[in-house]
Structure 1
């Protein structure tokens, strides 16, 4: 393991200030406040030092990833520093560069932009730093490892979840961000289920597009436009995650359609679970963040300790077949909330039911 670059307080302060000046959000600045830990790392040069670079902390689920990942790295004897880029690929590249200069052994990256994040891999490899693509695949780069869930299977689950309620009529597909390879995989999975019905003429796909930055407000606007173009009639919506599902349902509520139109989701966010209980959202897909974060931390620490990682799975990122760890997702409806997310400790009964 290489030695960390020693820096004094003034240099660290200057680096952090420059990062803020290029536009870090208050959230990423908050995670950057861990910089004082970097000084202590100079006395722990034999410990693995892992950098965790998040796209954003604006979505509920990423706070869980951050806490679980950091806790597991520390349990494994490592040090960790997390930065979040507020969905800016330029800020994320700057943050990755900062961590590389601070001497991390491994970068774990949730890319803000699947393509431009290839620059992070290039910078890291120039300093012998390995890169793990976390939950979202970095494209067109020599990524060392990818860990996520089977996103095509998630897309299949979302489509089937809606088809359990209705199997014909006018459908809309509200996708994720075009810059996120996961959004492409989710759509591929959903369309593999929907296409036979579309070809038979049972389903009329009246809307099929991505959603900028996975933004619920954009999803709401897209759904509103779709309703207006179709005389306020829609029979089902496959939404790529719980955030976009929330935007869709807000649009449906303005036309008194919420609860009458099946809507899918993903991430098992608390707000989505409450919508499922209320009958406004049909299902979500639970991806055990505990499993994802802890496995990612274990792989990162193994890489830092020059240990080999065994996997028989790969995924094509446009340049190489990236060694991959793909975890199993779980479909969640009103009927199995207690047996899934509550049993797993992801959410509590008190949080969901207020009891």
Structure 2
């Protein structure tokens, strides 16, 4: 009897031990590391399924300018149409804040990053952090320097500068100029200067054009441009024939300075971006012209690229790398670390004479908005 009891107890211990082992394996899935329970494919847990949502980060330097408000809306519309999540953040001209914001995006699990760098020189650290998380980076319109950048998409900014300077030099080949450069923290401003200088230098060397003031407008700030223009006018005793303003925002500050001296419409003024306020000044005769950069084309191409990178769509990536996109070409830009594959969009000069055939025809701006300050009898006839 005693033997039977001991035998029964031993049997119960064996059964209990087997039961506990089975439970333990079930709680831990019982599958080898890197393999999902119920799946025979190793590493299945690391890969995204087709139903997982693609998440893209879009980091911009400012939302104060009209163009960036417009382009963020374009990007969001693209994301809505394609069905992926777009995280947009603006650092409002604070480079350190932009780094922190991107770190937050990486924590949220973005698959690719599109960035308009606030500070081109110091933004290489952002690329490094993104790559550590396995996230590709595309620089949008503003170059990221000093980092292993994956792609750069922008307009041909040297060409923009050339168009600005040529427009003024053709109309004002002799006389005093004020030269308002863009934000020194933005690499594009330096490329613009390169293009502007290539046109102006022969005139300057001959002594036909004299630069009375040349100064950077930090942050592309219109108030900075206003002060630079005021200083130039004072120095030249208002004897100025033209002002090279590097974008439409700075052009606005320049025109304000000219208006205070009764010179608006008498002095040539350049710009870029085809902002509505600039186009209004152009048809009113206060600004000579602007450079139209079809941002809808830039934005579409940038979103195509960053979405393809996020979704690992190799066919689309190859297509874009081969130059198969609208109104542009593929080149390279040296960012101080490497020659970055760059998608460069075409640009076009806009003056009062061709405003209808450019920005209005493309649907970029509306005629009623551009000409709203003009008498109806001075509006162009409907095409």
Tell me which interval the TM-score lies in, with the shorter structure as reference length.
0.7 to 0.9
Alignment equivalent of 2:71, drawn from 65, 68, 73:
65
Partner SS state of residue 63, structure 2: coil
CA RMSD of aligned residues (A): 1.5
Q: 2:198 and 2:337 mapped to 1: Cα distance?
A: 25
- Give 1:209 shift: 2.0
**Larger radius of gyration, structure 1 or 2?**
2
Tell me, in whole angstroms, the C-alpha distance in 2 between the residues paired with 1:48 and 1:70.
Answer: 14
The alignment of Structure 1 onto Structure 2 pairs a total of residues equal to 314
Contact 1:76 1:301 in 2 (8 A): no
The correspondence of residues 39-188 of structure 1 with structure 2, limited to 5 A, is 46-188=52-194
Contact 2:225 2:250 in 1 (8 A): yes
- Alpha-carbon offset, residue 229 of structure 1: 1.5
SS of the equivalent of 2:272 reads coil
Distance in 2 separating the partners of 1:110 and 1:229? 36
Question: Alignment partner for residue 239 of structure 1, among 237, 240, 245?
Answer: 245
What is the CA distance between 1:232 and its match in structure 2?
A: 2.1
State the match for 2:221 in structure 1. 215
TM-aligned CA deviation for residue 74 of structure 1: 3.0
- The residue aligned with 1:224 is 230
- Asked if residue 344 in structure 1 is aligned to residue 362 in structure 2, the reply is yes
Deviations, residues 126-149 of structure 1 (Å, cap 9, x unaligned): 101111100111111111100010
Question: Is the partner of 1:123 in helix, strand or coil?
Answer: helix
Residue 349 of structure 1 and its aligned partner are, at CA, apart by 1.4
Q: Is the 8 A contact 1:76 1:298 kept in 2?
A: no
Query: SS state of the match for residue 268, structure 2?
Result: coil
User: Equivalent residues in 2 for 1:308-323 (5 A)?
Assistant: 308-309=317-318, 310-311=321-322, 312-323=330-341
The two structures have a TM-score, normalised by structure 1, of 0.86
Contact 2:120–2:144 (CA under 8 A) maintained in structure 1: yes
Contact 1:137–1:181 (8 Å) recurs in 2 = yes
Are the aligned partners of 1:73 and 1:298 in contact in 2 as well (CA < 8 Å)?
A: no
Deviations 1:78-127 (A, max 9, x none): 22111111111011111111111100011100111111211111110110
| 1:75, distance to aligned residue in structure 2 (A) | 2.2
Higher relative contact order (CA 8 A, sep 6+): 1
TM-score, normalised with respect to structure 2: 0.80
Residues 238 and 263 in structure 1, CA contact (< 8 A), matched pair in contact too: yes
The answer for the alignment partner of 2:273 in structure 1 is: 267
